[in-house]
Structure 1
Amino acid sequence: MYWITAVLIGHGLNALSYVLDKVLLTKSIKNPFAFTFYIGLLGLLIVVAAPWGLFLPSASLLIVDLLAGVFFSSALLFFFLALQTGETSRIVPFIGGAIPVFTYIFAFFFLQERLTSLQLWGFIVLVIGTILMALEDKKKISNLQSKKLSRQKWLFGILAALSFALSFGLSKIAFDYQPFLSAFIWTRFGGFFFPVLFLFSKNLRQEIFKAALVFKEKTGLMYLVAQTFGAGGYIFINYAISLASVSLVNAMQGVQYVFILVIALLGTIKYPNLLKENMSRKNLLIKILAVAVITAGLSLIAFS
């Protein structure tokens, strides 16, 4: 069960990365396109490991590798767009709850994975928990602009979840037929190819070059720390996918929500406006209940 340990470590690192990303999007790099571009660029650092395990796969597998990276970068873009319009501890569990569902649909048709009855009950519990976490305060969407932002939040969230699921599903195919390190390096090339397309837009190109100034500021170190956590989490998650069912790996995100909730709570206490979290007693109780339900559902799936 080494994959379970890898998943827990990976999601713990991702929780730290997600919250830091939210802080940076609020205080530093405000453009999600620029943020995605530099994550893709930094992802190429894995190329330094090429001498120890990079192989040229067949044309079909190379396409799978690159597409896995492309979908991952697109997922990050949609994820960051969603973060700009929603609470961190609300939108992240919504996306995370949808990823296992989309992943299993992919795995059902392309990887011949099947759910047991216990796993099916786990998914039902997961959906209930996701609905609880996604409940919207009606007072917050009383005007037209807020309603528009709310719709955008869930649209970006769905697109992010779908893209993540496609990325992880394709990665599972890649890891099944290639050495892990080689396939992972090729996915990083694909992960950079998508954001490179942003440079063809004059406005986005200006935002990307403008965002580069962050590395000369104090927030530059925070950005590098956030991406280090994210990269570490991503490697652990992908390693777990190479060892076990991609559906079960993606389902085990309950612990990540616990980390995010705790981090968001501590962050809101010290910096009330930093993460834009609504930490009233009512909302906190709902989120704690939702996290408990989601964790129970994910546990049923993971340990069935």
Structure 2
Amino acid sequence: MTWFLISLIGPFLYAMTNFIDKTLLEKYFKHGGVGTLLIFSALLSALALPILFLFDNTVFSVGLLNILVLATVGVLNVLVLFFYLKALEDEEASVTVVFYQLVPVFAYGLAFFILGETLTTLQLIAMAIVIFGTSIISFEVDTENNFKLRTKTIFYMVGASFCWALGSVIFKAVALEEQVVRSLFWEHLVLTVIGIGLFFFVRSYREHFIVAVRDNSKAIFSLNVLNETLYMLGNVIFSFAYLLGPIAVILLAESFQPLFAILIGVFMTVFFPRIITEKIHIKHLWQKGIAFAVTCLGTYLLLAF
């Protein structure tokens, strides 16, 4: 089970990147933040290319069809990032990531509609449990204990979860044929190309990017490099974990990201409130905790049986 413990590193690193993203959006990218961060993230994917090439210098041996498939995965990854950042603009990181528990639900749904796979009664119940768990966090509790539907967060995070599920299914199919390093190389190459395209062809993104670099170049560059390094490392760990252990259990480990996000949010709010401040009133922690527990239970039932 060592591979399971290793796979837990991925969601912990992802949770850390959630808070770095939130810091960048709030403190450095107040105007046009999503577009600016998209370009940074896509361009910094280039940092992984020479490293991946050193691991496997046969990366250019990938078939043309698989390159096109991996290009699709790259586009889906950009869409995941776009939807996620739009949700994160006005929402807490620890709330946003709970919706990623919908990823395995969409994965099974895609398998049912696209591949013709059957779903058992238990799997349908498990999917309903996950959806119920995300519905718990779908309502914001204000100071007067009134409930307000997080409409924007729901819309964007459902979109992000769907794109993530579709991309994961496609990536696994190609990675098993072309090997992980080759697949990662082409995926990151496509992300880099998309970043260049966004810079040159989307004027508003380009202008905000230039302003952000001009005004806070050192801080932004340092945080983005750290952010992308953690994210890429998490991707690499997960990609190898997919091949080392049962995919169902690896995906279950991925569902621990919200728990790590909740813990990091509490830690940062208590000790570094000038950097990150989240709602840590007992009612909010109960809401987040219950939502995580319910969705995690649903994910376990969905993947383990």
TM-score of the pair, normalised by structure 2: 0.85
Corresponding letter in the other structure for 2:8: L
- RMSD after superposition: 2.8
Q: Is the 8 A contact 2:213 2:220 kept in 1?
A: no
Residue 12 (structure 2) aligns with: 12
Which of 82, 86, 98 lines up with 2:87 in the alignment?
82
Mapped to 2, the partners of 1:103 and 1:56 lie a distance apart of: 29
Partners of 2:231 and 2:86 in 1: CA distance: 17
- Which range moved further: 233-242 or 18-27? 233-242
Aligned to 1:212: 213
Match of residue 57 from structure 1:
62
1:42 maps to 44
Change (3 A) 1:10 1:105: same
Residues 10 and 235, structure 2, Cα contact 8 Å, conserved in 1: yes
The answer to which of 40-49 and 74-83 deviates more is 40-49
Q: How many correspondences in the alignment?
A: 298
Provide Cα deviations, 1:164-183, integer angstroms capped at 9, x if missing partner: 12221211121122121111
8 A contact 1:74–1:194 mirrored in 2: no
Distance 1:248 1:114 in 2: 20
Alpha-carbon offset, residue 151 of structure 1:
2.9
Counterparts of 1:73-152 in structure 2 under 5 Å? Answer: 73-94=78-99, 96-110=100-114, 115=119, 118-137=122-141, 150-152=150-152
Q: Kindly indicate whether the alpha-carbon contact (under 8 Å) linking 1:54 and 1:182 is maintained by their aligned counterparts in 2.
A: yes
1:71 aligns to 2:76 (yes or no): yes
d(CA) in 1 for partners of 2:130 and 2:269? 26
Letter in 2 for 1:210: V
Equivalences for residues 293-304 of structure 1 within 5 A: 293-304=294-305
C-alpha displacement of 1:32:
1.1
Q: Specify whether residues 219 and 194 from structure 1 end up closer, same or farther in structure 2 by C-alpha distance, changes over 3 A only.
A: closer
Q: Give the secondary structure class of the aligned counterpart of 2:60.
A: coil
Query: In structure 1, what is the Cα distance between the partners aligned to 2:118 and 2:6?
Result: 23
Indicate if the aligned counterparts of 2:28 and 2:216 stay in contact, CA closer than 8 A: no
Gaps of 5+ in 2: none
Do the aligned partners of 1:79 and 1:160 also contact (CA within 8 Å) in 2? yes
Structure 1: state its 5+ residue gaps: none
Summarize the Cα distance change of 1:222–1:110 in structure 2 as closer, same or farther, 3 Å threshold. same
How many Å apart are 1:297 and its aligned residue? 2.4
Q: Which amino acid aligns with 1:105?
A: G
Deviates more, 1:114-123 or 1:150-159: 114-123
TM-superposed deviation, 1:84: 0.4
Tell me if structure 2 keeps the 8 A contact 1:172–1:246: no
1:161 alignment counterpart:
161
Q: Given that residues 129 and 290 in structure 1 are in contact (C-alpha distance below 8 angstroms), is that contact kept between their aligned partners in structure 2?
A: yes
Contact 2:129-2:294 at 8 Å conserved across structures: yes
Instruction: For residue 251 of structure 1, report the CA deviation from its aligned partner.
Output: 4.5
Name the stretch that deviates more: 214-223 or 101-110.
214-223
Matches within 5 A, 1:179-198: 179-198=179-198
| Paired residue secondary structure (2:59) | coil
Query: Residues 251-266 of structure 1: matches in 2 within 5 Å?
Result: 251-266=252-267
Normalising by structure 1, we get a TM-score of 0.85
> How big is the shift at 1:20?
1.4
Structure 1 pair 215–139 and aligned structure 2 pair: CA distance change class (3 A): closer
Query: Cα distance 1:102–1:243, how it changes in 2: closer, same or farther (>3 A)?
Result: farther
* Alpha-carbon spacing, 1:233–1:177, altered in 2? closer, same or farther (3 Å): same
Counterparts of 1:217 and 1:178 in 2: how far apart (Å)?
A: 38
Quick one: distance in 2 between partners of 1:192 and 1:256? 26
TM-aligned CA distance change 1:221 to 1:139, over 3 Å: same
CA gap of 1:65–1:253, structure 2 versus 1, over 3 A, is same
Correspondence for 1:176: 176
